């Protein structure tokens, strides 16, 4: 069974500092990996995905994520965080031949001014 | 391009009552998903439609939950009778296709259900 873990329930950073949200997965093969963001009282918004190719993936709002196969990780990063980045972030994984997305429990990011 | 629409946004019911949620996916999206998101957890897939056919309902509590997607567009998710543990946000999502290019899922704003 595939699973994805977000080891940190909360991440707190100061505005302008780098932001990292961690995600690891425990599946074999070549999974597809995703990051979504959820703002209060709103649905999930797609940020970026890794399918194949370059391990560094760039997405919306200045976010990027690095796929590391040896460490089975897909950490989300932003070089300089904004207060408006405060939200709930979800990592998700799926296999190419399985159309189901499995989500992590989420990480709450708080960026203080 | 209009996003995924859901209604109602909020619903409060008593246990053992019934409730229905409606979803209208992005135009042209063949695949539709219903998720349940309990507070503090990630979304869990309840059911997936491809056009108007069910392709995965393995995690749908079929004794009380039902869903349909008539004509392969709008979808309705029903709970009857509701239990306290059904309190959650119910998210609808759609994607252009099930796999390959274009399979990113786009989510609606969700319906927050409170069962008292």
Q: State the pLDDT at residue B99.
A: 60
What are the two backbone dihedrals, phi and then psi, of residue B38, each rounded to the nearest 5 degrees?
-85, 145
Check: CB of residue B110 under 8 Å from CB of residue B10. no
> Is any Cβ of chain A less than 8 angstroms from the Cβ of B5?
no
Q: State the pLDDT at residue B52.
A: 85
Q: State the pLDDT at residue A105.
A: 93
Q: What is the pLDDT of residues A51-104, one digit of tens each?
A: 888 899 999 999 999 999 899 999 999 999 999 999 999 999 987 667 778 899
pLDDT, mean of residues B69-79: 92
Query: Which of B6, B45, B99 is the closest to A96 by Cβ?
Result: B99
Verify whether the Cβ–Cβ distance B4 to A99 is below 8 Å.
no
> What mean pLDDT, rounded, does chain B reach?
91
Q: What is the pLDDT of residues A8-67, one digit of tens each?
A: 999 999 999 999 999 999 877 788 899 999 998 778 999 999 988 889 999 999 999 999
Q: State the pLDDT at residue A94.
A: 85
First to last CA, chain B: 37
Q: What is the largest CA-CA distance in chain B?
A: 43
């Amino acid at each position: 069974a595939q699973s994805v873990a977000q080891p940190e329930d909360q991440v707190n950073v100061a505005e302008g500092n780098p932001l990292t949200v961690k995600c690891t997965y425990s599946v074999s093969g070549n999974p597809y990996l995703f990051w979504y963001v959820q703002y209060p009282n709103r649905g999930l918004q797609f940020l970026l995905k890794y399918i194949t190719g370059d391990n560094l993936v760039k997405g919306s709002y200045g976010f990027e994520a690095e796929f590391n196969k040896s460490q089975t990780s897909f950490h989300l990063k932003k070089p300089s965080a904004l207060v408006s980045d405060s939200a709930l972030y979800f990592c998700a994984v799926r296999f190419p031949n399985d159309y189901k997305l499995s989500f992590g429990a989420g990480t709450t990011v708080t960026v203080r001014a | 391009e209009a996003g995924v629409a859901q209604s109602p946004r909020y619903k409060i019911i008593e246990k053992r009552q019934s409730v229905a949620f409606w979803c209208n996916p992005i135009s042209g999206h063949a695949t539709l998903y219903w998720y349940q998101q309990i507070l503090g957890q990630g979304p869990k897939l309840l059911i997936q439609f491809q056009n108007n056919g069910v392709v995965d309902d393995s995690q749908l509590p079929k004794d009380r939950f039902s869903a349909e997607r008539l004509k392969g567009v709008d979808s309705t998710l029903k709970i009857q009778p509701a239990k306290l543990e059904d309190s959650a946000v119910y998210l609808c999502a759609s994607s252009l296709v099930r796999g390959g290019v274009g399979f990113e899922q786009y989510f609606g704003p969700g319906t927050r259900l409170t069962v008292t």
